[in-house]
Amino acid sequence: MTSPGSSSTRAIARPLTDEEVARIRNDFPILDQLVNGHPLNYLDSGATSQNPLSVMEAEQEFYEQRNSAVHRGAHTLAFGATETFEAARATVAAFIGAEADEIVWTSNATEGINLVAYSFSNASLGLGGPAARRFALGAGDEIVVTEMEHHANLIPWQQLALRTGATLRFIPVQDDGTLDLAAAAGVIGARTRLLAVTHASNVLGTINPVAELVALARGVGALVLLDACQSVPHLPVDVAALDVDFAVFSGHKMLGPTGIGVLFGKAELLADMPPFLTGGSMITTVDMHTAEFLAPPQRFEAGTQRISQAIALAAAVDYLTETGMARIAAREAELGQRLVEGLDQIPGVRLLGPPAGVERIGLASFDLAGVHAHDVGQYLDEAGIAVRIGHHCAQPLHRRLGVTASTRASTYLYTTTDEVDRFLATLAEVAPFFGVTT
């Protein structure tokens, strides 16, 4: 099972060494602090990552020297701001193997998915003319998602189905946390118009076989949207090689600031899609009754943009590129295995997702028998260890796995092996503390 641009690259890359990680940590001032009297052990990068100095400096430098509205105004500052803003777009495009005009800025991945859903919704109402008809959905059409989706890649499609009369279908998850591809071949069929699937699961750590899924979708003429929130920050991703039609990800999960996300769309698709948000900066000619719209990506960027955030995100991409995505991925693959092998040694722990030895991103979620995730998280926090607890915005997946909540430890390029080991050692104390014998 190889997916282009990820596993094959990772196999040959040399992981970041402990010494390199120690140097990387110097760039992240937030990591150097005590929490409840213990060194902060930040294992929640899957929720939000930390910013290196260069990202914060890029944002500050913009506000100190070039702050101005983009794509309007003829003065020098506005011109400089526009140039930097568009250079950021080109940086992010190159990072994922896309063209600059295929990158639409959004607030986050959630907005990117909603943008596609509402554009399809508008096409279903006849907006966008004949060219947009191929995005129109109605009764008899099917949208396919998987059982492991984050709510962000589920609810917008539920709502689109409700608005258009289309039907939502699911690819089931197997007990080992992988998708049931045999079932997928049955679910994806002649009525399928769109397949929306996550590249890497934010709960299970599973890396999905995108090539196989895209092949199934292509076989029936369906479009593919990839939720790349947990892949673009952690793996080398080439959207052209993966041949997906849309991909979304969030800046704050990849060393960037909050408030900025990316929608990638193939140029020929974006060109035919009606807009979602409308208003200033996305039009050509306007009269009191009608408006004509700019070409993508501006068509989808109404109103004043997230300028400093986009520029800071480009600085984050530069940081990741200089460090080397393949080497980051190789490092996190090691940490991910260290996590699951350690979890296997702790009595009462049930790992969610692929077992040790199977490819996963550098995170692991688990259930500890007899102790609720909130109590696990409280005990770890007292030791300075930050983890995510709850349903991780994936209630249907947790229901499928027979748990209501879980605890997740997620790593990034600044995570040390010692931090993983301290987390495991502290976790081993939790069940005895709560009087649970296993």
The residues binding other proteins (CB under 8 A) are 36, 371-375, 378-379, 382-383, 389-391, 395, 398, 404-405, 426, 429, 433-435
Q: Which is nearer to other proteins, 143 or 380 (CB)?
A: 380
Q: Cβ 423 to other proteins, closest distance in Å?
A: 13
| Residue closer to other proteins (CB basis): 133 or 374 | 374
Beta carbons of 255 and 314 less than 8 angstroms apart? no
Q: In whole angstroms, how close is the CB of 391 to other proteins at the nearest point?
A: 5
Q: How far is the CB of 106 from other proteins (least distance, A)?
A: 24
Q: Nearer to other proteins by C-beta: 265 or 384? A: 384
- The phi, psi pair for 293, rounded to 5°, reads -110, 150
DSSP string, 274-334: PPSS-STTSEEEE-SS-EEEPPTTGGG--SS--HHHHHHHHHHHHHHHHH-HHHHHHHHHH
CA distance 296 to 53: 32
CB of 39 to other proteins, least distance (A): 13
Whose tokens are 């947009």? That residue is 132
CB crowding 20-32: b at 16 or more within 10 Å, else e: bbeebbebbeebe
What amino acid positions are annotated as catalytic residues?
393
Report the residue number, 36 or 76, with the smaller CB distance to other proteins. Answer: 36
Burial degree of 213 (CB within 10 A; 0-12, 13-18, 19+) = buried
Q: Min. distance of Cβ 429 from other proteins in angstroms?
A: 6
Closest CA to 181 of 134, 146, 137: 146
- DSSP characters for 51-72? PPHHHHHHHHHHHHHT---SSS
Closest distance of CB 159 from other proteins, Å:
19
Report how far residue 107's alpha carbon sits from residue 92's, in angstroms, rounded to the nearest whole number.
15
- Nearest to other proteins of 294, 405 (CB atom): 405
Other CB atoms within a 10 A radius of the CB of residue 138 amount to 10
Half-sphere exposure of residue 171: CA atoms within 13 angstroms, side-chain side: 29
Choose among 61, 154, 46, 74: nearest CA to 390: 46
What's the CA gap between 194 and 227, in Å, rounded? 13
Query: In the 8-state DSSP scheme, what is residue 140?
Result: T
CB nearer to other proteins: give 170 or 434: 434
d(CA 386, CA 33): 13
Shortest reach from residue 393's CB to other proteins, in Å: 10
State which residue, 266 or 391, has the beta carbon closest to other proteins. 391
Three-point CA angle 382, 229, 418, nearest 5°: 35
